[in-house]
Structure 1
Amino acid sequence: HSQEKQDLPYTVAGSSQNYRLYCSSAAIAQAHRDGLSHLISEAESPSGEQRFNQFMQKLGKKPNSKNLDLNNCALSAADVTELASLLPFLPELEEISLSWNGCVGGTLKALTVHLHHVNLLRVLRLNNCRLTAEDVTSLGEAFEIVSQLEELDLSWNSNIGGKLSLLTKKIQKGCKLKLLKITDCNLTAKDGESLAEILNVIPNLEVLDLSINKHIGCSMKVIAQDLKNVPGLKELNLHMCGLKQDSLQGLDTALQHLAALRKLDISCNKEIGGGFKDSTAHLASLKNLEVLDLHQCCVTEEDVTVLSQVIPLLSSLQELNLSSNKSVGVSSDPLLGRLRFLPKLKSVAISNCGLGEESFSSLAEAALHLPELEILDLSWNKCVGGNLKLLLGALKLATELQVLRLSSCNLVAEDLALLSTYNMDGHLARLRKLDLSYNHSISDEGWVVFCQGLAVFKELSELDVSLRPLSCRDCGPWFSELLAALTKLPALTELGMQRWVLSESQRKQLESFNQDNKRNIRFDC
């Protein structure tokens, strides 16, 4: 043999005898090279932290070892698999948000099998991920692992409908869930029953959102019966859930067990109209209730009579929405006048309530007793036009008012002049959003006067003066006044001018104003 192929002896250690092995010098050299290559490979391979940082950088996100926010990142199935492999390196992770990533659907199991590495996980958000039945099953199995989970949001996953039991049957007693959102998931009556069955094992629940599930109302009586098992519930959202009068009665019975409730939303349930007379016995007992939303519930005049007795007793109420209930404005009962007994009110929405002069006057008188009012929405009440002075006089004490919506109120030039005058006196000094849209009856002269006084709204950030659809007018007479006012409104960022006709020159002036003043006023013409 040549020198290169000469056999050399090697000793095997760790034995009672020495064994001599023979191998070629070429094999020895190759072994040394392989060993060195292995050492170099280990030294150069990225650590788990580096891999995580690279993964986040690829998605255009800043790495955060406690909060993994990957909302709307166009994740692929491969990304979900890669993310799963990184979980062992994120022991401090508390929040995972994968919402608005459709490709998560069908791949969730790849992630959930690794959740035991993040046993501090408290928040999991999977909105609009196109979750499948298999994903729901995997999520249910994960509940046995993520014992610290407090918030679960599965909203806008329509395939969950009819399959919720795949998740709920895995939830065991002692579950620490505080927030459960299943908005717009196409839930069925059977899903409602499955949900009711777990309320006794999640006693710490504080927020339950079942909104936009039109078929869940059929099982609301069953759900209501078990709400007594979550006495600490603070927020109950049942917007557009297909509630009927009998489900409203069942819900009212449950309210006696929910003394901690702070928000109740039963809006857009048109079939509960006429049912309040038999369903408010316990509503008045909610002394901690801060938000009550009853908009678009088709309340009758008889309902208004009952509500005028109950609502003033909700001593902690801060937000009240009665919009799109025409009977509120035509009823002879003084519901709006009795709002004076709720001095903590910060937001009142009475849009499209068919207010007449009598009910509008009652509201104006009540406004004198609402010093903390921040938001007032009177849109789509035609009686406001020409009568705004009644309200503005009452708002002299409402120094906190920040949002005033007067869309489609038949306002006239005098109303706009009064707006500017009252602000000059400092009564609307904190106003930030002003909606005057769809008031076609205001003359050009009225807009000129308004724009001349617009500069006094120093904190105004949003202004809408759009015309209603199918309308079209030239804003030539007052455009120069508007442009001059803009220079004195440093906070303004949004300007709605839909269907006002601007010349090419006027458009360029607005664009130049943005550039010259380093502003970003977004105007929609």
Structure 2
Amino acid sequence: MSQTRKKNSSDGETKPRTSFVNKFLRGSKLMSSKAESRKESNDLATTDFQPSNDAQKTATLDTAQPLTSDEEWGSRMEKNEQFLQKLGRTAVDKCLDLNNCRLTAADMREVGEALEVILELKELNLSWNSEVGGNLPLTLQKFQEGSKIQTLELVNCDLTSEDGAFVGQLLPMMQNLEVLDLSINRNIGASLNSIAQGLKSTSNLKVLKLHSCGLSQESVKLLDAAFRSLCELKKLDLSCNRELGGGFEDSSAQLATLEHLEVLDLHQCSLTADDVMSLTQIIPLLSSLQELDLSANKKMGSSSENLLSRLRFLPALKSLLINSCALESETFTALAEASTYLPALEIFDLSWNKCVGGNLKLLLETLKFLASLRVLRLSSCGLVTEDVALLASVIHTGHLAKLRELDLSYNDSICDAGWAIFCQNVRFLKELTELDISLRPSTSRDCGQWFRHLLCAVAKLSEITEIGMKRWILPTSQEEELEHFHQDHRCSIQFDLGEFQ
């Protein structure tokens, strides 16, 4: 009777959760594995299998025994496997991805039970589920020392400071952990002491993301003490922690020991002049660094000359994002000189630094010799006609042949003659996919005759898909030219003219 009631209850749960289940189905591989499992079960049930006498005796003896803990465990495994099947998972899956699935508190309890039967679990993603917050200990308490988990992602889960403390206690049990992402959990900064202590036991960690976690100046000191144990770390993201500013002044020496670090993201951290002075001693020692993001730290502008000049010691650097840093003439000059020593640079973002306007010539040597440059962003840099004429000449000589994305938007001081020279030479950017020459939101202008040059150039670019031209107004004759262009050429090119058309 009890078994019948249990089965009916299980069947009853499956139906109302169908839409929930579908969110977890991840490709035909998992669906086919479920189908094969059902097929195998049916085959076993219909096979004419006759057990030996000894086997029959053993079976009789077993059924005569009272329930043991092993049988209870088996029952729990069966229940948990049913739950995993509802999620489109099986007990042999090594990756359980439940991100952005609107998990309820009840679901979180079932996840905690299901984790017991996935003995080989290596990746767990519970990101973008707000009910994880406050329920994390209940869910992850099944992790035991020696866990094989390699990736744990808990992005934007509304984690509490208590959850953060629990993570700190959990980390020593996860000796194989390689990726830890706790981003967008603004309350865990208060429990960073526990997390930092736990990080000292994760020597295999390669990726640590604490983006927008409410970190403070004290957090830098706590993390720095953990860095000496993270000798394999390759990616560190501390971005969008605005209270972090001032924390690097006297407490970041161990950051320099991360000799394998490839990515350092410190954008929007309110870095102070003293922070910059400290980072000037540290960043050039990170010889493996490939990506550096210092964007949106406006206090850097007048104090980063020495730091930017020493970027020349990072020959492996592929991405340099330094937009919105209020650079001044001296700091821009130092950056321009250092950039000539960065042959591997692929992404260069200088947007929202007005000092670039009228001074693009300082980057002439850089633009000539950065053969690997793929992305160049110069949005809202105060560029003038002389700047785009210089850029056009560099393009004409083929020095930016690999460029795929070029952003010149929000540079309203360029006259029609300047745009004409530029558009006549765009055709030499054979690999270009995106071009943005939009005007800033507060202005609008009629297109000049240069628009015809742009259409002729675009017709020769086989890779381009998008051209941003917001707030440029096309007169009727040019609208007709654009219509004819779409009729004569491939229609996959999008001209984004915004609200004025």
State if a TM-score over 0.5 links the two structures.
yes
The 5-angstrom pairing of residues 261-280 of structure 1 reads 261-280=233-252
Deviates more, 1:400-409 or 1:157-166: 157-166
Whether 1:240 and 2:212 are equivalent positions in the alignment is: yes
Give the Å deviation of 1:64: 2.9
Give the Å deviation of 1:197: 1.6
Whether 1:126 and 2:90 are equivalent positions in the alignment is: no
Whether 1:499 and 2:448 are equivalent positions in the alignment is: no
Name which of 129, 142, 159 aligns with 2:131. Answer: 159
Structure-2 change in CA distance of 1:406 and 1:64 (3 Å): same
Name which of 350, 355, 360 aligns with 1:388. Answer: 360
Unaligned runs of 5+ in 2: 1-18, 41-79
Tell which structure's C-alpha radius of gyration is larger.
1
Whether 1:288 and 2:255 are equivalent positions in the alignment is: no
Residue 352 of structure 2 contacts residue 379 of structure 2 at CA under 8 Å; is this kept in 1?
Answer: yes
4+ runs deviating over 4 angstroms: 83-87, 113-117
Number of equivalences:
437
Deviates more, 1:302-311 or 1:511-520: 511-520
Give the Å deviation of 1:116: 11
Give the Å deviation of 1:505: 4.8
1:33 maps to what in 2?
Answer: none
Structure 1, residues 387-425: CA drift from partner, whole Å, max 9, x if none?
101112223221100100000000011111111211222
Structure 1, residues 329-365: CA drift from partner, whole Å, max 9, x if none?
2116510000000000000000011111111110111
Give the Å deviation of 1:513: 2.5
1:414 maps to what in 2?
Answer: 386
Task: Kindly provide the amino acid, as one letter, of the partner of residue 241 in structure 1.
Answer: C
Whether 1:88 and 2:37 are equivalent positions in the alignment is: yes
Give the Å deviation of 1:454: 1.1
1:430 maps to what in 2?
Answer: 402
Whether 1:64 and 2:13 are equivalent positions in the alignment is: no
Whether 1:474 and 2:446 are equivalent positions in the alignment is: yes
1:207 maps to what in 2?
Answer: 179
Q: Counterparts of 1:392 and 1:161 in 2: how far apart (Å)?
A: 51
Give the Å deviation of 1:281: 1.4
Give the Å deviation of 1:114: 6.6
Q: Counterparts of 2:158 and 2:39 in 1: how far apart (Å)?
A: 34
Residue 309 of structure 2 contacts residue 334 of structure 2 at CA under 8 Å; is this kept in 1?
Answer: yes
Structure-2 change in CA distance of 1:451 and 1:90 (3 Å): farther
Structure 1, residues 222-247: CA drift from partner, whole Å, max 9, x if none?
10011012110000000100000111
Secondary structure in structure 1 of the residue aligned to 2:414: coil
Give the Å deviation of 1:110: 5.8
Question: Which is richer in helix?
Answer: 2
Secondary structure in structure 2 of the residue aligned to 1:264: strand
Residue 299 of structure 1 contacts residue 327 of structure 1 at CA under 8 Å; is this kept in 2?
Answer: yes
The 5-angstrom pairing of residues 54-453 of structure 1 reads 64-65=28-29, 86=35, 88-89=37-38, 111-112=83-84, 118-331=90-303, 333-453=305-425
Task: Kindly provide the amino acid, as one letter, of the partner of residue 322 in structure 2.
Answer: I
Residue 116 of structure 1 contacts residue 146 of structure 1 at CA under 8 Å; is this kept in 2?
Answer: no
Task: Kindly provide the amino acid, as one letter, of the partner of residue 37 in structure 2.
Answer: P
Give the Å deviation of 1:177: 1.1
Unaligned runs of 5+ in 1: 1-54, 69-82, 92-107
Secondary structure in structure 2 of the residue aligned to 1:65: helix
- CA RMSD of the aligned region, Å? 2.4
Give the Å deviation of 1:112: 2.4
Secondary structure in structure 2 of the residue aligned to 1:276: coil
**What TM-score do you get using the length of structure 1 for normalisation?**
0.79
Q: Counterparts of 1:285 and 1:162 in 2: how far apart (Å)?
A: 35
Residue 204 of structure 1 contacts residue 232 of structure 1 at CA under 8 Å; is this kept in 2?
Answer: yes
Task: Kindly provide the amino acid, as one letter, of the partner of residue 65 in structure 1.
Answer: K
Give the Å deviation of 1:89: 4.2
